[in-house]
Structure 1
Amino acid sequence: MGSKYGVIVMGPAGAGKTTFCSALIQHLRTQKRSCFYINLDPAAEEFVYEPDIDIKELITLEDVMEELHLGPNGGLIYCFEFLLDNMDFLTDPLEAVTDEYLIVIDMPGQIELYTHVPIVPNLVKALTRGSLNISMCAAYLLESTFIVDHSKFFAGTLSAMSAMLMMELPHVNILSKMDQVKGQVAHKELKRYIEPDVNLLQDVPESGLVYDYKNDLDNGESIGRSDVLTGDAFTKLNRAVGQLIDDFSLVSFLKLDVQDEDSVGAVLSYIDDAIQFHEAQEPREPNDDLVDEPMGDMG
């Protein structure tokens, strides 16, 4: 059991990670709980709550791209390599954080960091081991509007599963922005996404995953396209992808509407269970102060 507790908020760009972090911090403050907020997005500009640690005070993506002539993805990887070489920037302030605090780490949206390269897994190892020994879980956000396009949804599901395998952490997967699909998806149909139903991949008209082979447009011969791109081949590929997800049985989702405090609270309860936060808290007398002042400037 770690003496510190945290959640690392991940997911593709536009999934609502920073918005979720802000809603989570607000909920924690409403519940008289302490929070320590870390921004690790070197391109982030605006925050509802000022971070206690901001990577931009160490390095910014803009400076890296300008000075080293790198693109956004290469620059971001460089920023994290620089952070790993200067981990005291992150670890020294965290030494003073007590077990009453929930450490909330806001990550950038390039999913390559979680699924392709070992940079973030190495960062997680540095935080969860050694003197810090943070008991941490990952919260992976996927935008709920993906469910109207089966191809996007299952691509997101695969990226979530890949991140789970790479991070080696307790994992909470979240369908964010549920308010945007309200009234568009029936409750019964929504269950097929909360617990991903691989049969959705066989729904050819909506899945977007089956190649639309039309003889009157292109028979493939003129550009050397083989029959590997025919509908049958793609149906087999879809079936293999679905079987992969089904075999691992790792991915299920929580629903999140950041405008609904009960929804945010429900997600927080899963995070607390994953990191076993409440088991380490000392019982308090009714008249005891429930919380210390948050560290840093929380706005």
Structure 2
Amino acid sequence: MSEGSKGSSLAFGQVVIGPPGSGKTTYCQGMQEFLGRIGRKVTVVNLDPANEAMPYQCAVDIAELITLPDVMENLKLGPNGGLIYCMEYLEANFDWLQEKLAAFKGHYYLFDCPGQVELYTHHDALKNVFAQLAKWNFRLAAVHLVDSHYCTDPGKFISVLCTSLSTMLHVELPHVNVLSKMDLIEQYGKLAFNLDYYTEVLDLSYLVDHLASDPFFRNYRRLNEKLVEVIEDYSLVSFVPLNVQDKESMRQVMQAVDKANGYSFGDQEHRSLDALMSAAVGADFHFTSTLAVQEKYVQSQDKAVEEQVMDL
């Protein structure tokens, strides 16, 4: 399956999911550019019927089939009900999707999906779309984006962990959870723990203890303890930090996704990737060369734990 499985009927790609504002469209734009620079033929498929302004080159657009404004106007539905209707309409029109995708045989696919959380936690329409793609020999990984600002609030971070776990169990695809907008994390506030604590989802009892200092959450300590137990019992959730402006960060996410969906590229992509990573950043290049914010928060685990114990 080298060189993107040339000579094979397999197709590889990513379904990019996550809450509204988590950076899905920006991710698709950045990943399309990054993969294009190492020689991978990339096709971006917009499956979000509410996505009207797309900065990337969109090859397949669900707007040709159905749009959210039309559904809301004609069926008198709200945005949430309208999105669910659109996804069910897509599910009922697999032939349209299959015909559109067939024009890009041999490409690597990025599916830009809607941001409604319910579509990934308990509604079946998108799950069925992904299952149908699998029947068409697509090997997909779900890239679940979560805004890194949730790390600055222990209560919200526990909520994000529960949502991520629920999504992983419902979608039933190889999964890569991503903390997006790492370049902005300092603007959100000081992290209670080092970054590794959040990406590796280390001992969550520290989070419960941290929440106990808040008068509101103190009353819900037992509930938080049980939620944390569920997350730790499954032991599935971890995160890859992402700064779309940083090519080393993009490489790490790309490699995590390639490992998840089984994509194996050949010598030409290896050479192109090595050249890209070692090249000086030109004026026309979209990415920066360092992950300064991430490096600032990455400490050794022993030192981090020592500091946390001292704080307690």
- TM-score after normalising by structure 1: 0.81
Asked if the contact 1:6–1:135 (Cα under 8 Å) also holds between the matched residues in 2, the reply is yes
Question: For structure 1, which segment, 197-206 or 25-34, has the greater mean C-alpha deviation from structure 2 after superposition?
Answer: 197-206
Question: For structure 1, which segment, 242-251 or 202-211, has the greater mean C-alpha deviation from structure 2 after superposition?
Answer: 202-211
Residue number among 20, 44, 55 corresponding to 1:13 in the alignment: 20
Asked if the contact 1:3–1:98 (Cα under 8 Å) also holds between the matched residues in 2, the reply is no
SS in 2 for 1:181: helix
| Cα distance in 1 for residues equivalent to 2:37 and 2:196 | 31
Task: Determine if the alignment matches structure 1 residue 191 to structure 2 residue 196.
Answer: yes
| Cα distance in 2 for residues equivalent to 1:55 and 1:156 | 28
The alignment's C-alpha RMSD in Å is: 2.3
Which residue of structure 1 aligns with residue 54 of structure 2? 47
* Amino acid paired to 2:148: S
Residue number among 143, 158, 161 corresponding to 1:157 in the alignment: 161
| Cα distance in 2 for residues equivalent to 1:87 and 1:143 | 32
Q: Residue 96 of structure 1: CA displacement? A: 4.1
Q: Residue 145 of structure 1: CA displacement? A: 0.4
| Cα distance in 2 for residues equivalent to 1:209 and 1:178 | 29
Question: For structure 1, which segment, 163-172 or 178-187, has the greater mean C-alpha deviation from structure 2 after superposition?
Answer: 178-187
Which residue of structure 2 aligns with residue 114 of structure 1? 120
Asked if the contact 2:144–2:175 (Cα under 8 Å) also holds between the matched residues in 1, the reply is yes
Which residue of structure 2 aligns with residue 29 of structure 1? 36
| Cα distance in 1 for residues equivalent to 2:20 and 2:270 | 43
Asked if the contact 2:140–2:261 (Cα under 8 Å) also holds between the matched residues in 1, the reply is yes
- TM-score after normalising by structure 2: 0.78
Q: Which structure is richer in relative contact order (CA contacts within 8 A, separation 6 or more)?
A: 1
* Amino acid paired to 1:236: R
Which residue of structure 2 aligns with residue 56 of structure 1? 63
| Cα distance in 1 for residues equivalent to 2:101 and 2:217 | 49
Following superposition of structure 1 onto structure 2, how do residues 138-287 of structure 1 map, counting pairs within 5 Å?
Answer: 138-182=142-186, 184-185=189-190, 189-197=194-202, 198-199=204-205, 200-204=207-211, 210=217, 231=219, 234-278=220-264
Following superposition of structure 1 onto structure 2, how do residues 93-104 of structure 1 map, counting pairs within 5 Å?
Answer: 93-99=100-106, 101-104=107-110
| Structure 1 residues 285 and 115: CA distance shift in structure 2, 3 A | closer
| Structure 1 residues 106 and 209: CA distance shift in structure 2, 3 A | farther
| Cα distance in 1 for residues equivalent to 2:84 and 2:117 | 11
Gaps of 5+ in 2: 2-8, 272-312
Percent identity reads: 39
Which residue of structure 2 aligns with residue 90 of structure 1? 97
Q: Residue 202 of structure 1: CA displacement? A: 2.4
Counting matched residue pairs gives: 261
| Structure 1 residues 186 and 240: CA distance shift in structure 2, 3 A | closer
More helix by share: 2
Gaps of 5+ in 1: 212-230, 288-299
* Amino acid paired to 1:72: P
| Structure 1 residues 205 and 235: CA distance shift in structure 2, 3 A | closer
| Cα distance in 1 for residues equivalent to 2:262 and 2:71 | 39
